[in-house]
Amino acid sequence: MAGKNKKKTHNSINRNALKPSGKMTDIKAAEFPDPNEMTGVAGSDPFAILPEAFTDRMKAQLGDAFPAFLDSYKSPVAGTLRLNTLRVSKEAGIALCRKAGLFSDVVNPTADRSDPGFHAGPSDSDTSHNKDSGHSHSDSDNPNSAGSYIPSVPWDPDGLYYDPASKPGKSILHEAGLYYMQEASAMLPGRLLAPQPGERVLDLCAAPGGKSVQIGMAMKGKGLLVSNEIHPGRAAILSENIERMGIPNVLVTNEDPTRLAPRFPFFFDRILVDAPCSGEGMFRKHPEAALEWSPENVTMCSKRQLMILESAHVMLRPGGRMVYSTCTFSEEENENVIREFLQRHPEYHMPAELTVPTKPTVSATDHSATFSDILTSCGVTPTDPGCWRIYPHLAPGEGHFAAVLEKSGPATADIEKKTDTSDTDEHITETNFSLRPDPGLYERREFQIKKNTKSKRSEKKQPSTAAFYKPLYSFFEETLRPSCDTAFAALIRRGDISRFYALGQQIYLLPEGCPAPDGIKLQRPGLHLGTLKNDRFDPSLALARTMTAADVLSYVNYCAFTADIVPGSDPAICKDETDHRYPDATDYHSGDETDYHSQARCLQDYFTGNTLPATDQKGWTLVCIAGIGIGWGKSSGGIIKNHYPKGLRKQLDY
């Protein structure tokens, strides 16, 4: 019977969250686990859940370090989140999260005062003065103040450890997309990939989306990110998370890697293969997963991982970088997979040094340190060249493995390749391009997707005139400021419809450099702009998540910051605290707690589905937090009617 003896695989955060019965839990509910609500194994006997064959193998693998490894299962799981720096500055994100009670600062007299995570505390005399009353006050101008610190993930400066007593998954800030809850170790592969704005990047096994979000932030909304997930249910969750976090340049696909490969030969600059695995590194966080483990499942996973790497190889251009990662300790699924792949493909090499931009500043006082130095200094273990392991007894995170591979190639090459995909009867032609080792210097290739006349699939005909999009143009004129500089606005001004893509009445904006997506199973063909309904256009939540108060004529803004804190904000608006559309504007670095909570309650009402008060706002109104768009309302008769999607409405904490 289906599922009777079927072993489960794991990928990233709770990729398959399993109950002891072996049945899958609801992935959406389990996607952002709260450490306070997890059973875990902290304080219990690790042998109660760890399979004997697993512990025997780990004894042989770790030797004298095995007792320390086993003791780590008695320690609590550290909760981490990653700030959405595509939408909010680190300073603003930290300040808001502090107000929401998500962080507990760690006293650190030697903390770097220039880092956004620094928070000046009272001096020794101030502390003693307020000790009996239980109160203390900040003195950020006092160079002798003790100072406290929000611990950052050593290998990712935007990853922060949150207070175990808080529940960030239930906060309005989480729903607003200001951060993504991601396990610390899972942040390493994306850093090693080091994607750049304007590149073509593939996340081949992407659900639930944490690594795609991380990649999208690094790309700054420029270029093409293809996020693929083979399972339809998880692909839908991936798409939802891309929307929530406001990543505009993503094509979300739902394909088997073997079907995706012939569509994109030699296409991508960088590819992440976060491969499905046996999930051994998640046993501490999700002990129920250990019940599904077996040596046979490890072997099965390793074979499948090699197959996935073969598909990735076809899609990576010469000179490109590929990162392979798992959340397992098994050498069979990690180093052995890489060794076998390198034997098959001698054109790959492991880089001698990791080229990773924006070095973390909180992990190493020596700013000349390489990224490799930073990793080893915080307990990340190098094994084979280019391979890195995270063990929970050595580094602050769960079990993980990552390997960096780079594909060699000729300095220049003229390639003309035709690949016939028998299952779709399509032909893909790659013409007139040159390749150079430096991914930032090579000429871009344009792919022409030609349909065979015998194909049974019907090609989606796209509107050829701007008349079809007339309601979209009307929305632009009535809602957006002339200064709005988003990609969507720029195309409208030029009258360019080449990147608009219609699926029925749903209108999308294709990422730049994206080939026509016909014939591919899609969850999201780029940024969802909205819906055409007769002679009107209703904007989408996804569009709101890419906009700021400075982009629109009508908005309501809660928990506001000054313009120097919010990226993309209009100083003329943000510094005018009398502007009715910018209520109670305050610098919330030092803002009153009562003000924050009163405004946060308005956002709580909005996410529940209630109306908001209006003054003289008109028409489509962008609802904002700290100047960042989180959804739409429509102003009429002194109220803002709620247009937050009904399926997403929920009661949240503030």
What number of residues does the chain have? 654
CB atoms within 10 A of CB 477: 10
Q: How far apart are CA 299 and CA 305, in angstroms?
A: 10
- Spatial distance between the Cα atoms of 35 and 164, rounded to a whole number of angstroms: 7
Phi, psi of 523 (to 5 degrees): -105, -35
527: number of Cβ within 10 Å: 28
What does the alpha-carbon distance between residue 574 and residue 586 come to, in Å, rounded to a whole number?
A: 10
Give the DSSP H or E segment for 70. Answer: helix 66-71
Listed residue (247, 240, 265, 139) closest to 197, CA to CA: 247
3-class secondary-structure state, position 526: coil
Q: Is the peptide bond before 208 cis (omega within 30 degrees of 0)?
A: yes
Whose tokens are 């930032």? That residue is: 440
Centroid of chain to Cα 476: 29
- What distance in Å separates the CA atoms of residue 184 and residue 189, rounded to the nearest whole number? 11
Angle at 151 between CA 146 and CA 156, to 5 degrees: 135
Q: What is the DSSP letter of 480?
A: B
Contact call for residues 358 and 404 (beta carbons, < 8 A) = no
The answer to whether residues 17 and 25 touch, using CB atoms and an 8 Å cutoff, is: yes
Reply yes or no on whether 624 is catalytic: no
Main-chain phi, psi angles of 163, to 5 degrees = -65, 125
Pairing of strands 200-203, 224-228: parallel
- Rounded to whole angstroms, how far apart are CA atoms 548 and 567? 9
Place of tokens 């028998």: 422
DSSP code of residue 5: S
Taking a C-beta distance cutoff of 8 angstroms, is the pair 31, 240 a contact? no
Tell me which amino acid residue 353 is: E
Element (DSSP H or E) covering residue 598: helix 593-608
Token digits of residue 309: 């790497």
Q: Residue 500 to residues 223, 469, 492, 506, 538: CA-CA distances in angstroms?
A: 16, 9, 10, 10, 16
Q: Give the integer Cα–Cα distance in Å for 39 and 284.
A: 10
Kindly name the residue from 327, 387, 484, 602 that is annotated as catalytic: 327
Which residues are within 8 A (CB) of 230 and not within 5 positions of it... i.e. 6 or more apart?
Answer: 205, 254, 255, 256, 257
Question: What is the DSSP-derived secondary structure letter of residue 249?
Answer: S
| Cα-Cα end-to-end distance for the chain | 46
Amino acid code (one letter) for 391: Y
Side by side, which strands form the sheet with 628-636?
A: 555-558, 619-625, 628-636, 639-642, 612-613
Which of helix, strand or coil describes residue 321?
strand
CA 579 – CA 572 distance, rounded (Å):
10
116 residue type, one letter: P
Residues marked active site are found at 327
